[in-house]
A and B are shown apart, each in its own frame.
Chain A
């Protein structure tokens, strides 16, 4: 009995922290999104949600965020899996490659941005390559074309992290399974599908979830290049929330944030369900 009580005592500091810094702000935020933000802060139900969802710029930000996420998250997932597969085989210098891939993740975005701006400048390296290929120079840093450097920058920066996770998962797959499959006459593709994928499914799911959640939060890169009001094609939901916050429209910020959270949670549940079904099948 005493033992059980003491467990709660040990948990108390952590629980208090969780309560003070997560649960209370979360509930308070929900309440905030249901009030009108006037001096009396009256309850208005879902009026804020109706208004925000009807706002053209909010929908634009959401659309762009989803589009960027749909490009970036799968790209990171696939490329990192591919690179991790290449790095699976232990060869001399593989550590160097892994570290090199992780380096952009550790560098501050602002520092990387200077290099990126130089590369994608009208007279920069990328446009020289484009010209060398016999094509017209592109204004990469203006208008819709700005999406390309932003997507590339985001992938380049975040790829290393996923590669490290994948590599660790791949290296944990018992080598004997591959040897046995080879003896049974399974080719490379069959080995990857029937051995590797089932073995690393939990890790792959984690990588995919992280990639999507992080891609939803693409902002720093766009903000550094385009400022608070970039071209419409790269205006994200984070811009909307950030600008509303600057103007002290806290109701709109919380409303947008919770709307966004609901979307992410729904996506996560869908993915989790898919994963569970797939796990069940493979099992």
Chain B
């Protein structure tokens, strides 16, 4: 031992004169290794064409979300998507390329559509071959990708008619959970929706069209190709989908299913009972599945389950036909909201995602994700409405909510802001840039000491409405309409005597069960009026008592079948048909937050009423507002998300929020829509030539209607025309008041208490005087308690 040590020492002593050179060499080698490593990683990064992207969101040509993606399949790393045609996308492509158009992609393609050349509603693959399948007809097409185009060749028809239900009035199509082919055999996992007899696995020979097997697959959720000639079957838990004792979904299960022997072998349970869209990645022997907006990977050869990607919106069961994996390590989700592409296990995904609640995949949300694919967002689909639930969700150690979208009427926004559970947004210029454009009336409730804590991102209001055509039929003009609630109650009470008896074919209201909805509408506007006027609510007032008395004087049985028949009216088809078919004067629910009501020729107009003759009319508007959790660990992302979100609010829909939008908004799809209507009209004319006498009358009716629409189509040239803008800005916008949560509208005990009181009054259990006194006492005490 000592000898060998001496030997080594002597060797090193021998080279000691070269020590400096050796050190230099070491440095050189280290530097070279570093450069090599850097080059390797750069090359790898350059070779990684995986992207996070969203396509077919808002169509820039039409400015609408009008592309419905129905199906997506992959061959290697090439993706094919069925939308308004067949598209192809490969890593490196900036956009999907349309290869095949002019096809009928809708489900309702059926055998009566004789003039349609190509019609299919599903794509499927068999190794490298691409096919299209019509669920309506059973036609199978071979689709040949020619590089810059695609050829569709009808191959054969399979018999799936027993999986669809056809009646005289409608067609119900098979609900498919999986469609794919392997080794010349087509597998369809689906169920007849009408029969509701559970999932079946159908097997066909693609060449002959022969239906080779029908297997009952009760509880099956999805199916996809697996290894060794087997299929990966995803099912509900054998003990039942739902565990009622523990109030949870039981874990769903994965099996290796052998279609030859109809046997299954349990592989594992998935953690989540709501998992769906299970796919198998043979390259990594991994199962990939989706739960909500989270894509998870479960390595079958060992290893921990992990989150691999976050999608733009939630994906539900039944979307399996639009989900596929690309061999380059990506997942594609195609649904009615567009195509979402995500790289699996991209750098940074392990850090989690920005958690957003109250958001269910709105246009604004998807626009944010399309614009900022670098932000991973997970949607929390729980619904929070009370303070405890909201604050708990914010402070939770497990996936705390970072951004919340809340409703102004029912959420405790004032308390959240006052208790510091909403981040001050005034410090972020990127948010204030858009927020500063919002009407101050709708910002004021969320400001404290001149600082903003929540941003409105949507506005919804409805009011009473009147039908201008019916009004003229009664020989009345706008000036004859009531201007205040008391006048309206008086008008309704005397309607039958004044006009109804002479016009028995006209309904006073479009709606039934008017008594309750009228009471609620009045109470909502009365509360808004009081808060606006006095800053607090009181019910024991002359105004409120008089209004209730006036409402009590109305004999609802004179015009409302619900009051005569009760709940039986909903099952009395004759009464319902008679009531709905008649022209009506008023509606309880007219849109009062958009300018669309003022489109030329629109008969339904909002009827704005004031609480008293001395006041202005009132429209109570509910707002959607966004807040940021001040304790978020992703502050930068949360601020970016919120800033982008408000930047993408569609001004046409939320025009009330933006007083600076005063230029007409052009309808980008005008020409396209008009051409489609013209085509439809021409088709009707052609059909009329060959129609039999029986169908001629209804066809002529459709032709007349289409002609009328075509002649007046000019009115659709603008989404918001100058006239509509003027109508909205002068007749509606000035009277809008933001609804706030009050004890009457909260979802807790207070809200229940007031609701129960109203129910007691409506049912006659308590009289008007007691009702008013009780309401007033309670609201007064609550307000005093909160002082």
Contacts and interface: CB of A to CB of B under 8 A. Distances in A.
Interface of A: 37-40, 55-57, 227-229, 231-232, 235, 240, 243-244, 246-248
A282 to B, nearest CB: 47
A247 B748 CA distance: 9
A229 B756 CA distance: 14
Contacts of B91: none
Interface stretch (B15-23, B302-310, B566-574, B776-784): B776-784
Nearest to A229: B778
Nearest to B629: A39
Contacts of A228: 749, 753, 778
Contacts of B750: 246
A240 B781 CA distance: 10
Contact of A229 (B418, B630, B631, B781): B781
Contacts of A56: 784, 787
Interface of B: 387-388, 391, 395, 418-421, 630-631, 748-750, 753, 777-778, 781-782, 784-787
18 contacts: A38-B421, A39-B631, A56-B784, A56-B787, A57-B781, A57-B787, A228-B749, A228-B753, A229-B753, A229-B777, A229-B782, A231-B777, A232-B777, A232-B781, A235-B781, A244-B785, A246-B748, A248-B388
A231 B391 CA distance: 33
Q: Chain A: interface secondary structure?
A: loop
B657 to A, nearest CB: 28
Contacts of B781: 57, 229, 232, 235
Contacts of A37: 419
B749 A246 contact: yes
B640 to A, nearest CB: 22
B420 A40 contact: yes
A55 B420 contact: no
Nearest to B388: A248
A88 B387 CA distance: 57
B467 to A, nearest CB: 42
A39 B420 contact: yes
A56 B750 CA distance: 20
Contacts of B421: 38-39
Contacts of A244: 785
Contact of A55 (B748, B749, B784): B784
Nearest to A244: B785
Contacts of B631: 39
A110 B103 CA distance: 71
A231 to B, nearest CB: 7
B389 to A, nearest CB: 11
Most buried by A among B749, B777, B781, B787: B781
A39 B418 CA distance: 10
A55 B787 contact: yes
A15 to B, nearest CB: 32
Given A37-B419, A229-B778, 16 more contacts: A38-B418, A38-B419, A39-B391, A39-B419, A39-B631, A40-B420, A55-B784, A228-B749, A228-B778, A229-B753, A229-B777, A231-B777, A232-B777, A235-B781, A243-B782, A248-B388
B785 A39 contact: no
Of listed B419, B778, B785, residue having the most chain A CB within 10 A: B785
Contacts of A235: 781
Nearest to A56: B784
Nearest to A39: B420
A246 B782 CA distance: 12
B785 A55 contact: yes
A228 B779 CA distance: 11
B60 to A, nearest CB: 42
Contacts of B395: 39
B745 to A, nearest CB: 14
A235 B782 CA distance: 12
B311 to A, nearest CB: 31
Contacts of B391: 39
Contacts of B785: 55, 57, 240, 243-244
A231 B770 CA distance: 12
Contacts of B786: 247
A57 B785 CA distance: 6
B199 to A, nearest CB: 46
A7 to B, nearest CB: 42
A244 B391 CA distance: 17
Nearest to B422: A39
The 3 A-B residue pairs whose C-beta atoms are closest, nearest first, are A38-B420, A39-B420, A229-B778
A138 to B, nearest CB: 16
B746 to A, nearest CB: 9
A247 B786 CA distance: 10
Nearest to B786: A247
A122 to B, nearest CB: 13
A196 B421 CA distance: 63
B419 A227 contact: no
Contacts of A247: 387, 748, 786
A57 B750 CA distance: 17
Contacts of A57: 781, 784-785, 787
Contacts of A229: 753, 777-778, 781-782
A52 to B, nearest CB: 10
A232 B782 CA distance: 12
Nearest to B782: A229
